[in-house]
Structure formats: C-alpha cells, structure tokens
C-alpha cells in the first residue's frame, strides 16, 4: 500500500507540490472509508477536515425548504470535498454524502492551518493549491447551471 504522502501526489491539487510539503500535509491525514448513505459532513456545521476522494462518489447537497436535500454536484476519484475550512471560523456551505462505498484521505485541516501560520511559504503554497481547486469547482458549478437554465430554444 502506498504511503499517504505518495497517495497525495495522485491528486491534481497536490501533483506539483514538492515531496517535503506533501509529507507535512500527510502527517495528520488518515484514510477513511464510507458506506453508501454515510454523511461526511453537514451543511451549517463548523468546517473542519478536507476529503480527497480515492474511490467512490460523493454528492454535495443542501437543504431546500419544502424539498429536502438537493444535490448540486457529484464528485469522484481524484476530487476534493470540503473547502470551507479555508475561511477562518468557516461553516460548511453544503453537506456531503457518499453515494456508494467510498474511500477518502481526510486531511487534518486544523493542523494544516497551524503549519501555515508557522510557515507562511507553506501556507501560501497550500492556499494557492486549494484555491485552484475552488476555481475548478466554481467552473463546474457554472457549467451545470448553464445547462440547467439553458433557453428551451437551445435544447433542440
């Protein structure tokens, strides 16, 4: 089995991160498996942790009054779930639930924040990597919304 540091290199967000920094990121990380229907985190709760999906599929959802939970996006192998921890005192803007058996690497974001405060160079590298992922996620959401709200004339 590969080390967590080696496994991080397979995720696009960490592919260009030097090995020494990947070791720091992996220090507090752990592999966690979820069954179908297990919730990784819940919208509105304090944001701690960041999940790197190794296998399986996770739905990002939120509660809509009168409709229940609505899925806004699904992510799978190679994707990241949980970026709200980047905001000080952040709260989850969405929830996340496993749609099938899923294996993740969960990052200790409290530990990463402490490391970033102690070493601004590391903090800049980590923040930049995560913001690249955030922009990717926003673009994916934008594409989905464009598809959902496309003019009926364009659908033929």
- Domain segments of the chain as ranges: 4-155
Whole-angstrom distance, CA of residue 38 vs CA of residue 56 = 12
| Topology annotation, domain 4-155 | Jelly Rolls (2.60.120)
Instruction: Tell me how far the alpha carbon of residue 27 is from its chain's centroid.
Output: 18
Q: pTM of the entire structure?
A: 0.86
What pLDDT shows up at residue 81? Answer: 94
Let me know: does 22 contact 8? Beta carbons within 8 Å.
yes
What pLDDT shows up at residue 43? Answer: 94
Q: Structure tokens of 3?
A: 């080390």
DSSP helix/strand/coil, 47: coil
Per-residue pLDDT of the chain (156 residues; tens, 9 = 90+): 579 999 999 998 888 889 999 999 999 999 999 999 999 999 999 999 999 999 999 999 988 888 888 888 899 999 999 999 999 899 999 999 999 999 999 999 999 999 999 999 999 999 998 988 888 878 877 777 676 667 666 655
DSSP class of residue 84 equals G
What pLDDT shows up at residue 148? Answer: 63
What pLDDT shows up at residue 154? Answer: 64
What pLDDT shows up at residue 1? Answer: 54
Nearest to 41 by CA among 105, 103, 107, 91: 91
Question: Helices (H) and strands (E) in the chain — how many of each?
Answer: 4, 8
Instruction: Tell me how far the alpha carbon of residue 75 is from its chain's centroid.
Output: 9
């Amino acid at each position: 089995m590969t080390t967590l540091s080696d496994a991080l290199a397979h995720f696009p967000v960490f592919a260009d991160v030097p090995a020494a920094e990947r070791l720091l990121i992996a220090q507090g990380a752990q592999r966690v498996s979820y069954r179908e229907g297990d919730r990784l985190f819940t919208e509105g709760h304090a944001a701690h942790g960041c999940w790197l999906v190794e296998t399986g599929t996770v739905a990002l959802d939120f509660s809509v009054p009168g409709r229940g939970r609505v899925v806004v996006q699904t992510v799978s192998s190679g994707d990241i779930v949980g970026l709200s921890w980047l905001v000080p005192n952040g709260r989850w803007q969405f929830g996340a639930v496993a749609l099938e058996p899923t294996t993740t690497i969960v990052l200790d974001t409290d530990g990463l924040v402490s490391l970033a405060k102690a070493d601004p160079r590391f903090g800049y590298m980590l923040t930049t990597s995560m913001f690249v992922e955030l922009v990717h996620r926003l673009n994916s959401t934008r594409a989905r919304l464009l598809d959902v709200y496309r003019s009926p004339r364009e659908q033929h």
